[in-house]
A and B are shown apart, each in its own frame.
Chain A
Amino acid sequence: AQSVSQHNHHVILSEAASLELGCNYSYGGTVNLFWYVQYPGQHLQLLLKYFSGDPLVKGIKGFEAEFIKSKFSFNLRKPSVQWSDTAEYFCAVNGDTGFQKLVFGTGTRLLVSP
């Protein structure tokens, strides 16, 4: 069965600090990978996605993520965070063949202090 692990449950950073949120998944086949963000009081929205090709994908608001197949990882990064990045971040995975449900990690709450 698929599973997703987000090891950092809470992260507190100062503005301009660099961010890296870990995401590891367990699945034996080809995967599609997603990072979603949920800002306070807002709906879940897509930050970025990886299906194939260049393993370094760039998303909205300066975020990027790198798919490392050998490590089953899809870590999210941002070189310099802003106060407005305060949100909860979810990594999600689904398999590429047949119907495979989207499996979410437990989320990481990021607090950026001004």
Chain B
Amino acid sequence: DGGITQSPKYLFRKEGQNVTLSCEQNLNHDAMYWYRQDPGQGLRLIYYSQIVNDFQKGDIAEGYSVSREKKESFPLTVTSAQKNPTAFYLCASKDGGLKGNQPQHFGDGTRLSIL
């Protein structure tokens, strides 16, 4: 079945440590997204990408970095500069590039906690 796979499901980070969240999709979608979900705040866009080697900052990119070396992969690194990283992180993809009216498809998410 086609879909989006996020790993790990749970992740713990020590202070000052960088961690990378994996997102892989086999839907052959062009656009991919990273969101952060906090209670009572909905989903906020961190980064997005339309094509390989291209990505743009979203609303809350500070303290995060991404890469898009392959169409199917869009890993997110939470750096030590992110002062409040504890959250639920969701990866999404969409057909038709960034424009258009296709819905986004979401992964199961990664819950990141600070030790």
Residues of A within 8 A of B (CB): 4, 9, 32, 34, 36, 42-46, 49, 51, 90, 92, 94, 96, 98-99, 101-102, 104-107
Contact = CB atoms under 8 A, between A and B. Distances in A.
B103 A106 contact: no
A94 B92 CA distance: 15
Contact of B43 (A46, A49, A99, A104): A104
Nearest to A47: B103
Given A43-B109, A44-B90, A102 B104 contact: yes
Interface of B: 4, 33, 35, 40-45, 48, 58-59, 90, 92, 98-99, 101, 103-109
B106 A43 contact: yes
Contacts of A4: 42
A4 B41 CA distance: 11
Given A45-B106, A46-B103, A101 B42 contact: no
Nearest to A4: B42
Contact of B42 (A42, A45, A99, A105): A105
Contacts of B108: 42-43
Given A98-B99, A99-B98, A101-B58, A106 B106 contact: no
Nearest to B104: A102
A51 B99 CA distance: 13
A107 B104 CA distance: 17
A46 B4 CA distance: 14
Contact of B99 (A49, A99, A105): A99
A107 B88 CA distance: 14
Given A43-B90, A99-B99, 15 more contacts: A9-B40, A36-B106, A43-B107, A43-B108, A44-B92, A45-B106, A51-B101, A92-B43, A98-B99, A101-B48, A101-B58, A102-B45, A102-B104, A106-B41, A107-B42
Nearest to A51: B101
B105 to A, nearest CB: 8
A90 B42 contact: yes
